[in-house]
Chains A and B, each alone.
Chain A
C-alpha cells in the first residue's frame, strides 16, 4: 500500500524516465493535481464548513455539530429527506425488476424491430433531462394525476418518473452481467427437465445477482441525485430533498445546507464504495 501515500513519487529516483513515461512528466502531474483540486476543493470546503462554528462560513472558528442538530431539528428538511429516501427506495425496487426483465429480453430473444426497441430503451438515458422533465409534467397534468394524496402516494408522480429514467440504466448494467452467462448451463438444465421458469429462477437470476445489486445501487443513486425531473414532477405539496435544498440555496449559503449536503454526500459515497466492491469482484472497471 506504499504507493497510496504518494503515488507520484514511485520509482522516480532509480529508473530514468523513458520516452513513454508521460506519467512522470512534471507538467502532466501538475495538470492532474490541478484538475483534482478543481474538482474536489469546493466539495471539501463545503464539508469542512459544515463543522465550522461560525455563520459567516469563511474563517475557521472551531469544530461543532450544531448545524447538524439544526438540520435535524428542521422539520421540513427532514420530511424532504425522508421523502427522497422513500422515492429512491421504491424506484430501486421497480427499476431493478423492470431493468432485469428488459435486459433478459434483449439478451435472450430475437424479435422484430429489436433495434428500434433497444433504441427506445436508450432514449431516457440520452434525451436532455429538461425535456423529460417537462414531458412528465405535461403528462401528469393532462391525465389529472391526483396531487392531494397521503404519504407515500403523494410521491407517486415523482417515483413513476424516476423509475422511467433509471430502469434503462439498470438494464445496461444487468445486461453486461448477462453477457458473461454460459448458455450451456441453462441448456443442460432444460435437458434435465427444468421448466422455462425454473431455469430463470434457479440459474439465470443467481447469475445476474451482482448485476442486480449494481443496478440497484445505481438506480438508488440516480434517484437520490436527480434534481431537474423531480423539480418538474413534484406537486405543490410534495417536498423532496433536492427541491428543498434548491429553495434554501436560492436565498443564501447557510451552514445547515452544508450539513444536510454533507450527509447526502456521505450516503452517496458509501453506496458508491459498495457498488465498486461488488463490481471489482467481477474484475470490471468502475465506469458507469
Chain B
C-alpha cells in the first residue's frame, strides 16, 4: 500500500469524484435531516432550526413509544422464526454434497435479487381472501365435509354450515409472514458461513465420546457457531425493524411500524422535523446493533462476517 503523499496526483484523481458524490449526495442530505430533527415547523413548509429537543421528547409520547415497541417486537419475532427455520436449513446445506450445496445456496439467495415489491405482491395474491391458501383450505373443507356425509355425520354441520375464508391479510400475522419471507435469506447466509468454518473433528470427537445429536448440537455446534448466530440475528433484526413496504402493504390499521410513521410525517402529516427525529432514533438503534456485532466479532477473534 502506498502513502498518498508519494502519489498525490494519482490519489486526488481517484479520490475526488466518489468522495464528492458521497459527501454532496449522501452525507449532506443526512446532515440536513439531522439538523431538521432539532428544528420546529414554521408555517406550511418552513423549518426553523432552533436546536430544540422537542421533537425527540415528542417521540417519547406513549403512542410513539408503543410503535417503537411494536417494531422491536415484530423484528424480534421475525428474527426468532428466521433463526428456528434457518438453522436446520443451514446445517443441511453445509453437510450437502458440494454441487448440491452450491445450488441450494443459490436458491436461498435468488429471492434477494427479486424486487421486494413484487415478492410482497406475490404474497398478497396467495394470502388474500380469494387467494390460493384459502382456495386450498376450501378444497380441504369440501372434501372433509363430503367425507363426513359419507360416514353419516353430514347433517350435524360439524365444520360449520359454510366455508369461512380465513382473513389472512391486513393484520399483524400477515406482516410477520411477510417479514419472515423477506428476511429468511439474511439469516441462512451467516449461519451457513459459520457452520462451514466449523471444524468437523470436534463433532466427530463428540460422537466418539458418546454424545448424541442433541448433546453435540448444544455443546459443540451452538457454541462454535455463536459468532455466526449473533451476526445473523443482527443483520436480520436491523432491516426487519426498519421495514416500510411489508407493514404498509400487508398490515392493517394496527400494524404500523416505525418506518410507516416516518413516511407519514414526510408525506401526509407534513411534519418533517418530527419525522427527522424519528429517523435518527431508528438510525441510532441500527448503529447500536452494528456496533454490537463488531464487538462480538472482535471478541470471538473471528467475525461471523458475510457481505
**A-to-B contact residues, CB < 8 Å:** 3-4, 7, 10, 19-23, 25, 27-29, 31-32, 35-36, 38-43, 45-46, 49, 56-58, 94, 97-99, 101-102, 104-105, 108-111, 117, 120-121, 123-124, 126-132, 134-139, 142, 160-161, 163-165, 167-168, 171-172, 196-197, 200, 221, 224-225, 227-228, 232, 242, 245-246, 249-250, 253, 257-258, 261, 264-265, 268-269, 271-272, 276, 285-288
* Residue pair B114, A225 in contact (C-beta under 8 Å): yes
Chain A residues near B18 (CB-CB < 8 A): 98-99, 101-102, 105, 121, 167, 171
In chain B, what residue has the closest Cβ to A173? B307
Interface flags, B42-68, vs A, CB<8A=1, else 0: 000000000000000000000000000
**B-to-A contact residues, CB < 8 Å:** 1-4, 7, 9-11, 14-15, 17-19, 21-22, 25-30, 32-33, 36, 85-86, 88-89, 91-97, 99-100, 102-126, 128, 130-132, 135, 181, 184, 189, 200, 203-204, 207, 213, 238-239, 241-242, 244-245, 249, 259, 262-263, 266, 272, 275-276, 279-280, 282-283, 286, 290, 306-307
* Residue pair A139, B184 in contact (C-beta under 8 Å): no
* Residue pair A110, B1 in contact (C-beta under 8 Å): yes
Q: List 4 tightest A-B contacts by C-beta distance, closest first.
A: A128-B242, A139-B29, A102-B18, A42-B122
Taking the closest CB of chain B, its distance from the CB of A270, in whole angstroms, is: 11
* Residue pair A128, B130 in contact (C-beta under 8 Å): no
Q: How far is the CA of A2 from the CA of B131 in the complex (A)?
A: 37
When A49-B125, A225-B116 are in contact, do A135 and B111 touch as well, CB less than 8 Å? no
Q: Which of A41, A171, A288 contacts B109 (CB 8 A)?
A: A288
Q: Which of B9, B15, B86, B105 contacts A286 (CB 8 A)?
A: B105
Interface of B, secondary structure class, is helix
Chain A residues near B306 (CB-CB < 8 A): 287
Chain A residues near B120 (CB-CB < 8 A): 249
Q: How far is the CA of A56 from the CA of B131 in the complex (A)?
A: 9
Taking the closest CB of chain B, its distance from the CB of A30, in whole angstroms, is: 9
Chain B residues near A102 (CB-CB < 8 A): 14, 18-19, 22
A-B contact pairs, 18 of them (CB 8 A): A39-B111, A39-B184, A58-B130, A58-B135, A98-B21, A105-B18, A127-B286, A130-B244, A130-B259, A131-B242, A134-B263, A135-B29, A139-B25, A225-B115, A245-B118, A249-B249, A250-B249, A268-B115
